[in-house]
Amino acid sequence: RALSPSGTWLLYLPCSWSIGLAAEPGCLPDWHMLALFGVGAVLMRGAGCTINDMWDRDYDKKVARTASRPLAAGDISTFQSFVFLGGQLSLALCVLLCLNYYSIILGAASLSLVITYPLMKRITYWPQLVLGLTFNWGALLGWSAIKGSCEWSVCLPLYLAGVMWTLVYDTIYAHQDKRDDIVIGVKSTALQFKEDTKQWLSGFSLAMLLSLCVAGMNCNQTFPYYSAVAAVGAHLAHQIYTLDIDKPEDCWKKFASNRTVGALLFTGIVLGNL
């Protein structure tokens, strides 16, 4: 699972939505920009994992699922991980410098979130919200990379939709670790919502769908887009309805299936634009 590309996809997909929505009517998204953001997503997801493992090395030793991570297992030193992180962030900066000035500043602004997110599970039961704010920055950045600045009437609802989506999939993910989390004193929305999880997830899903509709209306999206939003709603409803929060394997399966949610929406955006 540590090698699963799910996390990279979940970071990349909001970028792809934004780049797709910013394309001119009748045109395909900018493939050069999609590829560039793909490289950026791989690098920043990697950097996020490195930062997370550095903050959490003492916690990770106590959780079966994370005990084999290189820092927790003692395979590499803290200094080596700093050097590695420096390399990752330097490469990510090279990607960022390919964009316009507005996007460079906007992209750099996300770094404070990337660095502080791993600390949040020690101080709040809502670390998933901070992860959402971090992971969906691409919903702002993709648009500005194409257009030169953010059209807030489109970018903000798209960003909000992404944040709500992260609250859904990462709460499901957190249910895998809740027993370990209680023992080591780590907080999460899974522990906050407990048996009410499905009601909360339903609320977040509804907020996501409404936000996507607002974003679509503000950039004159067409029928295929709204069909995709409906398909996303159906997928989320099925996920939540069939979820067993006490079975880690089921939680993992539902979490990983969110790639499909993001891909459905991207397809709808592309077809809607055409």
Task: Let me know: does 15 contact 135? Beta carbons within 8 Å.
Answer: no
256-41-22 Cα angle (round to 5): 100
- Structure-block tokens of residue 257: 């299936």
Residue 3: the pLDDT is 52
Residue 1: the pLDDT is 47
- Structure-block tokens of residue 177: 């670790």
Residue 62: the pLDDT is 80
Cβ–Cβ contacts within 10 Å for residue 98, how many? 14
Q: How far apart are CA 264 and CA 9, in angstroms?
A: 13
How far is residue 119 from each of residues 45, 116, 122, measured CA to CA in Å? Answer: 17, 6, 6
Q: How far apart are CA 119 and CA 114, in angstroms?
A: 10
- Report the b/e string of 151-172 with b at 16+ CB within 10 A: beebbbbbbbbbbbbbbbbbbb
Task: Let me know: does 25 contact 273? Beta carbons within 8 Å.
Answer: yes
Residue 58: the pLDDT is 86
Q: 3-state SS of the chain? A: CCCCCHHHHHHHHHHHHHHHHHCCCCCCCCHHHHHHHHHHHHHHHHHHHHHHHHHHHHHHCCCCCCCCCHHHHCCCCHHHHHHHHHHHHHHHHHHHCCCCHHHHHHHHHCHHHHHHHHHHHHHCCCHHHHHHHHHCCHHHHHHHHHHCCCCHHHHHHHHHHHHHHHHHHHHHHHHHHHHHHHHHCCCCHHHHHHHHHHHHHHHHHHHHHHHHHHHHHHCCCCHHHHHHHHHHHHHHHHHHHHCCCCCHHHHHHHHHCHHHHHHHHHHHHHHHHC
Task: Let me know: does 210 contact 203? Beta carbons within 8 Å.
Answer: no
Residue 61: the pLDDT is 84
Domain edges within the chain: 5-273
Which regions in the chain score pLDDT beneath 70? Answer: 1-3
For the stretch 149-200, pLDDT in tens is: 999 999 999 999 999 999 999 999 999 999 999 999 999 999 999 999 999 9
Domain 5-273, CATH among 1.10.1060.10, 3.30.70.1170, 3.40.50.10890, 1.10.357.140 = 1.10.357.140
Distance of CA 95 to the CA centre of its chain: 19
Task: Let me know: does 11 contact 138? Beta carbons within 8 Å.
Answer: yes
